[in-house]
Amino acid sequence: MANYHFIGGDGKTYGPYSLEQLIDFKNQQRLDGETKVQKDGGEFLPANSFPEITGQITTPPQQQIASVPQGVVQHYPQQPLHPNVKPGKVQAIAIMTLVGGILAILASLAWAIYVIIFGMISFGLLCVFIVFPIYQLTAGIILTVRGARMLGKNPQAAYSSAKSSAILQIICIICCDVFNLVMGIVSLVNQGDPQVRAYMQLPPK
């Protein structure tokens, strides 16, 4: 089976993809006839240069399947998840990012109250503890915006920041935010899943 790569509108190279996936991208208008496509490590050429992509050739009739000798076990490669299907773990990453951002913002308000109390006791305590609400508020705003984008109409572009968002959540432990710590770790684990990585590497629509 041939492997294809192509250069997206952002100048990045995507792949490898099968012919069926590339045709799906063409039907979804993620690539057009002028998109540079590479087949099996060859030269990048316009997609219109490949008859199998433009649909100008027909698929040859299926050849008769040869009989398998007795005792020989055939192994078939596992088919990858269809590119249009969003894995459940991808949705979970988006939700945990959004929820984590909202919780961080609420936690920053609680920390602000503590800072006011500490400031009344000692100016030194004020200077130390003021870092916590500032970090929680900043991280909360960033996470909320990114989480909303991941749940939006163009999620692939937003998932490029998923790893840094998870790290922001983990660092929230310095503010005693255990919820964001747990969600950040789970998010990083989910991002290592092959189906999640394949979905996150798809070109944006």
User: What is the token pair recorded at 78?
Assistant: 């596992």
Greatest mean pLDDT range, 42-56, 94-108, 153-167: 94-108
**What is the spatial distance between Cα 54 and Cα 41, in angstroms, rounded to a whole number?**
20
| The residue to which tokens 């990045």 are assigned | 12
**What is the spatial distance between Cα 45 and Cα 33, in angstroms, rounded to a whole number?**
10
Q: Is the pLDDT of residue 154 over 80?
A: no
Collapsing DSSP to helix, strand or coil, 34 comes out as coil
Q: Is the pLDDT of residue 202 over 60?
A: no
- pLDDT confidence band for 203 (50 / 70 / 90): low
| Beta partners for residue 5, in sequence order | 38
Specify the pLDDT at position 70: 57
Burial 23-52 (b: 16+ CB within 10 A, else e): bebbeeebbeeebbbbbeeeeeeebeebee
Residues in the chain: 205
Specify the pLDDT at position 81: 46
Tell me what the pLDDT averaged over the chain comes to.
81
Q: Is the pLDDT of residue 52 over 70?
A: yes
The proportion of the chain whose per-residue pLDDT surpasses 90, expressed as a percent, equals 33
Looking at per-residue pLDDT, the higher value among 11 and 62 belongs to 11
**What is the spatial distance between Cα 187 and Cα 161, in angstroms, rounded to a whole number?**
12
**CATH T-level topology, domain 4-54:** Dna Ligase; domain 1 (3.30.1490)
Region 47-58: mean pLDDT is 72
Specify the pLDDT at position 59: 44
Specify the pLDDT at position 85: 60
Exposed/middle/buried for residue 137 (C-beta within 10 Å: 0-12, 13-18, 19+) = middle
Greatest mean pLDDT range, 38-47, 72-81, 181-190: 181-190
DSSP for residue 10: T
Specify the pLDDT at position 184: 95
Specify the pLDDT at position 189: 93
Region 117-130: mean pLDDT is 86
Specify the pLDDT at position 84: 52
Q: Is the pLDDT of residue 65 over 70?
A: no
Specify the pLDDT at position 182: 96
